[in-house]
Amino acid sequence: MYQAQELIQQALIKALHQLYQITVTQVAVQKTRPEFEGDFTVVTFQFVKAAKKSPDVLAQELGDYLIQHENQIVKFNVIKGYLNLVLNQDFWFSYFSGTQNNQTIGYRSKRSDAHQIMLEYSSPNTNKPLHLGHLRNNLLGYSVAEILKANGHEVIKTNIVNDRGIHICKSMLAWQKFGNGETPASSGMKGDHLVGKYYVAFDKAYKKEIELLVNEGYSKEEAEKKSPLMLECQQMLRDWEDGKEAVVSLWKTMNAWVYEGFDKTYKTLGVDFDKIYYESNTYLLGKEVVEEGLSKKVFYKKENNSIAIDLSSEGLDEKVVLRSDGTSVYITQDLGTAIERFKAYPKLKQLIYTVGNEQDYHFKVLFKILDKLGYDWAKECYHLSYGMVELPEGKMKSREGTVVDADELLQEMFETARATTNELGKVDNFSEEELNKLYSMVSLGALKYFILKVDPKKKMLFDPKESIDFNGHTGPFIQYTHARIQSVLRRANQDIKNNHWPQTLHPLELELIKSIYDFESVVKDAGDTFNPALIANYIYELAKLFNRFYHDCSILKTEDETVKNFRLNLCRTCAQVISNAMHLLGIQVPERM
């Protein structure tokens, strides 16, 4: 419970008892909506019946009592049964005094009721490099993990790599046929790009075969089944599953190229993992689960010997969990992997999957099956669903090679950051090393902020140029605000005392303190809803507010040393909040620009 809400809650509990003999242990206190005057609001409707008063009369009487008995509440108004309360300046001074030099402001230390949470994100295929869609996945997953840690939880960041299957064999077969021994070293290409090149090459050759077969009189469906290239690919997959040495050796070699490429992209992006799973090690998991489900009559065997579950009573469909030939499907593996994870981590309380919203149905089925199998923790599994990322020119397609490559986008962002920063003349007296570090910081800040400021559930349109605007709703605007504050603190060149406060506050100073106060609740709400956009939009509003304060309130030129000291304190605390908030988005902030 936060200081102001705790103060108001305790005063209200006492007021309800004294005025109406109503005994309660908790009263909901919420932030007052911006269109009304007040700091905090109490909804009185829940007490109307017991108090035998109308909502407006009840709110008025409660407000009068609070004014008389709680000196930190100085004003109130009543709007349709809502009691809006205003706290005095002394309360905000007291709160602000407690934030001085608090480098972890907004964060909670590990709690006694903390959960161990496993959060899965990235989950790439080893047949292509990471693209723009993967960036949203990685940035969202990493940020949510950091936010959960800031809420006092223990978080295990995981990645499951899809390193087997027919799509992997397509790249392998195309390399065998068209590669002439090409390697990352001989081509100068990153390994994931090289393997992706042959995934596209397979698709082009396959389409040509289909076209020829259709011209010979076959239907498209027949042509797809008769394609020599696809038949070879299917045989390669069987050979891999049978452990044929030559196929497994090629698979290991090409996957190693991809992993090296992925690692470079992850490093540039600034994301990491505590545990990496590989589908080649997990794809057989789940078959025993199916047998267990059969014995419990959760599953049933169909006439063709496949095994399924009927979820029509749950508003879902029938789902096959084992094919008639005994091979597993994706959900079989997911069932086994989830169970293995909870076995490997006995303290695990929650499992979160960061996967695009095209898989919403899959996860509804997965969680429902786990529940029916009797796993209590199934109710704590969560699909962190997010909308697709599109560009002005539309959707991306991996097989056709029309995706926005992550590495190319990161380089483009770097060059745009370089050009924009130089154009604005913000790089005087920087060494080349410092410049490159700044361009990287600005470009990544622009990319991450632009993606994370959008609610995860919403589809988004990404515009690289719009994301790097030092005056817009962007990461660079917030980064520049932080650098501006640091410049003020450097120019002040004085010790900032923590206990010298002016008699009265400028309205913008008070607004800033109240905004800083909100940070802790924003971090909590972002953790509860797995939504970094709450933090991104909060910190933009704080940065805008600080710039208004900077423009309207003299800091270094004010003659009153007490006011000057207080404003420097306010600057320092705003910088700390900006830094902490941006850290939760995976974004660094510069000391100077």
- On whether residue 411 sits in a domain, the answer given is yes
CA distance 436 to 418: 8
Give the pLDDT score at 426.
67
On whether both 413 and 530 belong to a single domain, the answer is yes
On whether both 450 and 550 belong to a single domain, the answer is yes
- On whether residue 148 sits in a domain, the answer given is no
329, burial (CB in 10 Å: exposed 0-12, middle 13-18, buried 19+): middle
Cβ contact 353:422 at 8 Å: no
- On whether residue 542 sits in a domain, the answer given is yes
- On whether residue 225 sits in a domain, the answer given is yes
- On whether residue 247 sits in a domain, the answer given is yes
- What count of other Cβ atoms lies within 10 Å of the Cβ of residue 47? 21
On whether both 56 and 174 belong to a single domain, the answer is no
On whether both 58 and 198 belong to a single domain, the answer is no
**Greatest CA separation found in the chain?**
93
Q: Is 87 helix (H, G, I), strand (E, B) or coil?
A: strand
On whether both 422 and 519 belong to a single domain, the answer is yes
On whether both 75 and 195 belong to a single domain, the answer is no
Residue 568 corresponds to which amino acid? Answer: L
Residue 275: both structure tokens together: 């545990």
Residue of 141, 282, 275, 268 whose CA lies nearest to 192: 268
Residue of 6, 5, 24 whose CA lies nearest to 14: 24
DSSP class of residue 351 equals E
Residue of 90, 50, 44 whose CA lies nearest to 65: 44
Cβ contact 286:296 at 8 Å: no
Q: In terms of C-beta distances under 8 Å and separation of at least 24 residues, what long-range contacts does 68-75 make, across chains too?
A: 69/11, 69/14, 69/15, 70/7, 70/11, 72/7, 73/8, 73/11, 75/37
Residues in the chain, how many? 593
Domain of 190, in residue numbers: 165-272
What is the helix, strand, coil percentage profile of the chain, to 5?
A: 55, 10, 30
Give the pLDDT score at 402.
54
Residue 304: both structure tokens together: 């063709």
Residue of 91, 82, 114 whose CA lies nearest to 3: 91
Place of tokens 């850290």: 583
On whether both 465 and 568 belong to a single domain, the answer is yes
- On whether residue 54 sits in a domain, the answer given is yes
- On whether residue 299 sits in a domain, the answer given is no
For the chain, report the end-to-end CA distance as a whole number of angstroms: 38
CATH for 74: 3.30.1360.70
Residue 234 corresponds to which amino acid? Answer: Q
On whether both 82 and 170 belong to a single domain, the answer is no
On whether both 560 and 474 belong to a single domain, the answer is yes
Which of 220, 249, 272 terminates a domain? The answer is: 272
Residue of 541, 560, 500 whose CA lies nearest to 93: 500
DSSP class of residue 115 equals P
Give the pLDDT score at 1.
45
Residue 162 phi, psi dihedral angles, 5° rounding: -85, 85
Give the pLDDT score at 393.
64
On whether both 444 and 562 belong to a single domain, the answer is yes
On whether both 416 and 553 belong to a single domain, the answer is yes
Give the pLDDT score at 433.
92
CATH for 543: 1.10.730.10
Cβ contact 76:86 at 8 Å: yes
Establish how many alpha carbons lie within 13 A of residue 441's alpha carbon, considering only the half-sphere containing its beta carbon.
23
Which of 87, 117, 133 terminates a domain? The answer is: 87
- On whether residue 260 sits in a domain, the answer given is yes
Each residue's pLDDT, cut to its tens digit, for the chain (593 residues) gives 468 999 999 999 999 999 999 999 999 999 999 999 999 999 999 999 999 999 999 999 999 999 999 999 999 999 999 999 999 999 999 999 888 888 999 998 877 778 899 999 999 999 999 988 899 999 999 999 999 999 999 999 999 999 999 999 999 999 999 999 999 999 999 999 999 999 999 999 999 999 999 999 999 999 998 999 999 999 999 999 999 999 999 999 999 999 999 999 999 999 999 999 999 998 888 888 999 999 999 999 999 999 999 999 999 999 999 988 888 888 999 999 999 999 999 999 999 999 999 999 999 999 999 999 999 999 999 999 999 888 776 544 444 445 688 999 899 899 999 988 888 776 778 889 999 999 999 999 999 999 999 999 999 988 878 888 888 999 999 999 999 999 999 999 877 877 778 888 999 999 999 999 999 999 999 999 999 999 999 999 999 999 999 999 999 999 899 999 999 999 999 999 999 999 999 999 999 98
Q: In what order do the strands lie in the sheet with 73-79?
A: 29-31, 40-43, 82-87, 73-79
Which of 272, 294, 329 terminates a domain? The answer is: 272
Q: Is 187 helix (H, G, I), strand (E, B) or coil?
A: helix
CA distance 302 to 287: 16
On whether both 170 and 69 belong to a single domain, the answer is no
Give the pLDDT score at 394.
53
Number of independent structural domains in the chain: 3
- What count of other Cβ atoms lies within 10 Å of the Cβ of residue 127? 28
Residue 579 corresponds to which amino acid? Answer: S
